[in-house]
Structure 1
Amino acid sequence: MVVSFTYHFLRWHLAYGYYLLLAFLFDMKHKNKQAPNQYDAFISYNTHDEPWVIRELLPKLEGEQGWRLCLHHRDFEPGKPIVDNITDAIYGSRKTICVISRRYLESEWCSKEIQVASFRLFDEQKDVLILIFLEEIPNSHLSPYYRMRKLLKKRTYLSWPRAGEHTELFWEKLRQALKTEEDHGEDSFLLTVVDRW
């Protein structure tokens, strides 16, 4: 009965604790390496959203703006454990861009990626996480992902649907978010294209 109660009411807390422990262990492992960042950003996305990443995100960020991006289908090392590839990509990049959709929220691997990225955010106290919503997602759908809800209450994020006809402003705000803190100061995280939740 206790096990059933624990699973039913606390399973998301237990899963979060598990991922947080994994992220902590990976962080300890990578703290000693301190290698320069190989990429400007790691793109965390679900494979169902790959067409948007390939058609919209890559041409703008890599083609027009010249950023070096890390994508799992292109840059992960073959034969290496997926979890190691994920953490190496996140810690080997200055920022992590999470492209969030309903499919993203359902994905176990995407969940691992955002957990490791958010742990790095809170551990290093640096602006290393950028959230892009590809679709409007009601608060109720985010309820199991209370860590993400907590992030959304503290940070501004980008929304592709709300960008509407102002896509150039969307890309400019993303470019500003990708800059290092030294480039534009700590207090100008300028993702003001959208409203907060």
Structure 2
Amino acid sequence: MYKYRWKLRYVYYLTRSKFRGYSAIGGAAQNRFDFDAFVSYADEDRRVVVNDMITKLEEQQGKQLCIHHRDFLVGEEIAANILNAVRNSKKTVIILSSNFIASYWCNYELNMAHMESLETGRNVIILVVYEHVRMKDIPDILQNFMKNNSYIEYTDDPQGNIIFWDQLITAINSE
């Protein structure tokens, strides 16, 4: 049971959402999503999401982001909201920081995005390194992801910042 805990949670909330009236993505509608990206971040790192991502991605690029403090359904379980956000978004953007690593719900979001990748065969995770974290503190799933995939590092440097946003937009647009 412990070994398959994330798979079991994923299947439980997926099945539960089908009985609660959420429409499942599948078949011809597989390429249609409610959101371009679900942003997974620790609440302590909200500044980068509210000040930067909403401005750069939603207002300037016309992307639709799913942001938990704004788009989760009130009265619904957090775990169900997370799975619905992951499933109804083309990509999941992980904002990696020490706060992210310490957060139970961020870990949950990461694992649900990982399960979505495995179940659908889609590469849904976009990793943004917001602050440098020691490799030994990073969860195994992210360590494996970082060893096998490209990721983007956030920067406040004006020149690097232009490159960062171009890379993030390209990653969100990719299949």
Scaled to the shorter chain, the TM-score interval is: 0.7 to 0.9
Question: Cα RMSD (Å) of the superposition?
Answer: 2.2
Alignment size in residue pairs? 166
Is it true that 1:103 corresponds to 2:94 in the alignment?
no
- Equivalent residue for 1:51, pick from 47, 54, 74: 47
Give SS of 2:94's match.
Answer: strand
Maintained 8 Å contact 2:13/2:79? no
Q: Quick one: distance in 1 between partners of 2:156 and 2:132?
A: 9
Shift of 1:123: 1.9
Is it true that 1:156 corresponds to 2:150 in the alignment?
yes
Q: Structure 1 residues 95, 170: closer, same or farther in 2, change over 3 A?
A: same
Maintained 8 Å contact 1:30/1:91? no
Structure 2: segments with no counterpart, 5+ residues: none
1:80-139 deviations in whole A, cap 9, x for unaligned? 111111111110111111111001001000011000001111221212110101111121
- Equivalent residue for 1:33, pick from 15, 24, 28: 24
For 1:80, the equivalent position in structure 2 comes to 76
Q: Quick one: distance in 1 between partners of 2:109 and 2:137?
A: 19
For 2:171, the equivalent position in structure 1 comes to 177
Give SS of 1:67's match.
Answer: coil
Sequence identity percentage? 28
Give SS of 1:127's match.
Answer: coil
Maintained 8 Å contact 2:94/2:125? yes
Q: Structure 1 residues 161, 169: closer, same or farther in 2, change over 3 A?
A: closer
Q: Structure 1 residues 129, 80: closer, same or farther in 2, change over 3 A?
A: same
Tell me the TM-score normalised to structure 1 length.
0.77
For 2:161, the equivalent position in structure 1 comes to 167
Maintained 8 Å contact 2:155/2:161? no
Q: Quick one: distance in 1 between partners of 2:57 and 2:5?
A: 33
Q: Quick one: distance in 2 between partners of 1:163 and 1:131?
A: 19
Maintained 8 Å contact 1:136/1:161? no
Structure 1: segments with no counterpart, 5+ residues: 1-12, 182-197
Tell me the TM-score normalised to structure 2 length.
0.86
Is it true that 1:139 corresponds to 2:126 in the alignment?
no
Tell me the amino acid that sits aligned with residue 153 of structure 1: K
Shift of 1:165: 3.5
Maintained 8 Å contact 1:24/1:119? no
Larger radius of gyration: 1
Shift of 1:162: 8.8
